[in-house]
Structure 1
């Protein structure tokens, strides 16, 4: 007979967060939501509050910030998660600002206990711990009183038959309040750091008792819907590996190129189109997607450019092609792969074009090499055939590619012409010729071999 008491889990209602925490928040746990100023702690707490609260699971939210609750709620109600129907029935806000003015911490504790006993909540949030710290001078007597208050608050939150959350502004874990980190069952850490001309937001579950939680720092986004967390998309998580097959070929849509490739693009391969600006890489990649749609297969175009091939625009409107358009300033590999894999599943796509890798490199900066490696492995695990454009066949992309096609400019009798060649097709014979080609009416037309 197993007499162990089971621990239930509560879904937070925040997309991606439950997965990060290892299936949600443990019931009756004491949790810290911490991070630096402006990282999104209060917004995350409010989204969890409304996501978890119900008539059977009432929530009490204590705020000790200087601004009135009405002002705070005026901003928070702009988010889609805000539910007016839950106010005062399932959700109650209590402002403690007046109680901490004179620094009487015993009064604050007594008020909190009274409110908890009166409302009988299943969820309790206290925002914010540092507002209490800043409310009193930092002399020795007050410091001792504050330390005692911190310990009492922590012990009270642990003793309630409720799942509790303390929101705190920390840049890093502070030794002075290390006891909070010790007794907390869960610690959710939010941060933001400069990346280029923008800020990169990350969230990390640093501690979650009785849970196999994700240990990594993951990207998250705050928009009109609220917080969306992007757990790491890995090849293992994307599905069982699906090795490419040279036995099954996809038509490229470019007459003459399929023969050069040994019969078309092998299914499940990652093909790299390399060449300088103006040689028609995007034109060839577009023909690859157009050919797929003509053959009855959907495709995905991942690009930073909003002005893509006119032939694709109608196919996008018809639903044959989906467009994954990451923001140039704030793209993260976690968010991009999440959106891309989701779109592949929605469209049941079998072809994907990444146009272009140099733009992704600019956006992802120092993370690009590792990001590219993960992206290619994930897409191959999903089972799609990938075509990527870049400016050179050297570098990380060439090692990851199963096939490489180069496009370049050549000089002939005082004229500049374009030429195309196949450098490699893994596991397959292919043409070693370099052939001229022209771009006519937005299409690539391959001609004779160079003499």
Structure 2
């Protein structure tokens, strides 16, 4: 029976990229990093280079007509991944400008061979390879020279057992190039601008021998370098769901509400609290996290309307200050849902949190870059599934315009994807504005069908008795049911 030789994957050192690549960069592969100017190609290449370079695994970085090494390093040293002591030790920069200016690809290849034999590198970077490609077309007006050069370079790098990266300003959609065929892997960087929003995305167009994740994946460049936000996937097994349902329910922290929900919120469920402005949605969310802390359960909150650290809810602010509730900082511009999910899951793992609050979906949508708003509903469903897959119980708030002609629970049509719904409404009774609450659904569980008045005071929400003797409560202007029956009689 034939045995297969496993392909070793090299960890790139770029958060999230290895997951998108399907485990890392295949060792001894011939790769292209392509993208428009300013898309982050050199930064990505340097981050990979510094993560992989060791004295036992030296790196050869060949620069062409783009930027001289000194200028390039002046900017790259601003990133956290930069290691000045590696330059000249495990990382060697060589400038091929003179060879490229000779317009002779054979001359360029001879110089590369000379430097590879001298340093015996495990990794080779050529930046920018687009300049080499231009030499190939200048010599005879065709791409034959370039194709032969790329094939020779690829075979030589394979025989030297070097993992190679060609970096260039290529538009994959609008041009054909022989390097696209020869390359084992193609990492394509994109950036788009909508209004005042700029979003960067990475796509693994090709990766031989590895099951990379398809599609475009958001990434951000910060002082730490490149960070890729791989899509979160739901991994919950049927057995996990059964175990969660057998656990005691999560209490809500509002007296009377647990009874209305049939004993609390089942573990692993997602709850939507929908209501108009000022109805107490954030107060209910804070009580949910505070009750978790009283039960020894850490929580995480992503607040998109006001910083939770400065919340008027002193209990919640104290829990955050004490480290019992983690906060996802949502102030960064041009957010993507994958980024927010990644931040939430990171905090959940750090605190071993059991409860998550997203306050609110309306603010969440406004915080997203415009390009992500079109498919907000689909991405929201994926986010809920991803959070459920790690066993947390989720509470989301949704702002509703209080229309009395229809009974809606979310402006995004997301009610179907949640396991439980609590709706809050205003109503007018004897020229007074009162609040009303109802539990609309708790999936696979008995729950109250009562409409109850509630109030808000310094201690939070207080749920009163069932509203009896009135009809038309959901229309906002109830009538005296007893009087109406008398008139009918």
Structure 2 counterparts to residues 34-113 of structure 1, below 5 A? 34-113=34-113
- On the 8 A contact 2:251/2:288 being kept in 1, the answer is yes
Corresponding residue SS for 1:372:
helix
Alpha carbons 2:150, 2:182 under 8 Å: kept: no
Q: Which residue of structure 2 aligns with residue 374 of structure 1?
A: 382
Pick closer, same or farther for the CA change 1:168–1:389 going to 2, 3 Å.
same
Q: Give the whole-Å Cα distance in 2 for the aligned partners of 1:239 and 1:300.
A: 25
C-alpha distance in structure 2 between counterparts of 1:175 and 1:192, whole Å: 18
3-state SS, counterpart of residue 249 of structure 2: strand
With over 3 angstroms needed to count, the CA separation of the structure-2 counterparts of 1:407 and 1:217, relative to structure 1, is: same
1:426 and 1:122 map into 2 onto residues whose CA distance is 56
Q: 2:394 aligns with which of 380, 386, 390?
A: 386
What is the match of residue 183 of structure 1? 182
Residues 247/210 of structure 1: CA separation in 2 closer, same or farther (3 Å cut): closer
Task: Give me the whole-angstrom Cα distance separating, in 2, the residues matched to 1:176 and 1:247.
Answer: 58
- Specify whether residues 267 and 9 from structure 1 end up closer, same or farther in structure 2 by C-alpha distance, changes over 3 A only: closer
The answer on whether the counterparts of 1:241 and 1:382 sit within 8 Å (CA) in structure 2 is: no
Q: Judge conservation of contact 2:154–2:182 (CA < 8 Å) in 1.
A: no
Matching residue within 119, 136, 152 for 1:155: 152
User: 1:269 and 1:7 mapped to 2: Cα distance?
Assistant: 40
Of 331, 335, 348, 1:331 maps to 335
Q: How many residues align?
A: 447
In 1, Cα distance between the equivalents of 2:425 and 2:56? Answer: 67
Structure 1 position 240, deviation (Å):
6.9
| Counterpart contact for 2:29–2:163, Cα < 8 Å | yes
Match of 1:356 among 333, 346, 360: 360
Identify which range, 428-437 or 25-34, moves more after superposition: 428-437
Query: Which residue among 412, 416, 428 is the counterpart of 1:399?
Result: 416
Ranges in structure 1 where 5+ consecutive residues have no aligned partner? none
Cα deviation code 1:4-50 (max 9, x no counterpart): 55533322222222222222222222111112221111111111111
| Deviates most, 218-227 or 11-20 | 11-20
CA–CA separation in structure 2 for the residues paired with 1:126 and 1:369 = 42
- Alpha-carbon distance, 1:51 to partner: 1.0
- Following superposition of structure 1 onto structure 2, how do residues 134-283 of structure 1 map, counting pairs within 5 Å? 142-144=140-142, 147-160=144-157, 161=160, 162-173=162-173, 175-177=175-177, 179-195=178-194, 197-236=196-235, 241-242=240-241, 245=245, 248-283=248-283
CA distance in 2, matches of 1:147, 1:254: 75
For the 8 Å contact 1:360–1:368, the answer to whether it is kept is no
2:487 match? none
Indicate conservation of the 8 Å contact 2:236/2:390, yes or no: no
- 2:29–2:185 contact (8 Å) kept in structure 1: yes
Q: Which moved more, 1:394-403 or 1:405-414?
A: 394-403
Of 280-289 and 103-112, more deviation after overlay is shown by: 103-112
- 1:284-363 residue pairs with structure 2 within 5 A? 284-304=284-304, 305-306=306-307, 307-308=310-311, 309-327=313-331, 329-362=333-366, 363=368
Partner SS, residue 386 of structure 2: helix
The CA deviation string for residues 159-213 of structure 1, in whole angstroms up to 9 with x for no partner, is 1211111111112245541x21111111111111235532221112221112222
CA distance in 2, matches of 1:176, 1:245: 55
Residues 230-239 or 267-276, more deviating: 230-239
Question: 2:430 maps to which residue?
Answer: 413
Separation in 1, partners of 2:271, 2:175:
52
Contact 1:276 1:407 in 2 (8 A): yes
Could you say which residue in structure 1 is the equivalent of 2:475?
A: none
Q: Distance in 1 between matches of 2:277 and 2:246?
A: 30
Query: What is the TM-score of this pair, normalised by structure 2?
Result: 0.85
The answer as to whether partners of 2:423 and 2:438 remain within 8 angstroms in 1 is yes
How far apart are the structure 2 equivalents of 1:81 and 1:60? Answer: 18
- Displacement after TM superposition at 1:328 (Å): 5.4
| Residue 154 of structure 1, CA deviation | 4.2
Over 3 Å counting, the alpha-carbon distance change for 1:447 and 1:8 in structure 2 is closer
Asked whether the 8 Å contact 1:188–1:206 carries over to 2, the reply is yes
CA contact (8 A) 1:358 1:391 kept: yes
Shift of 1:301: 0.7
Say whether the 8 Å CA contact 1:240–1:381 is kept in structure 2: no
> How much has 1:291 moved relative to structure 2?
1.1
2-structure distance, mates of 1:248, 1:226 = 43
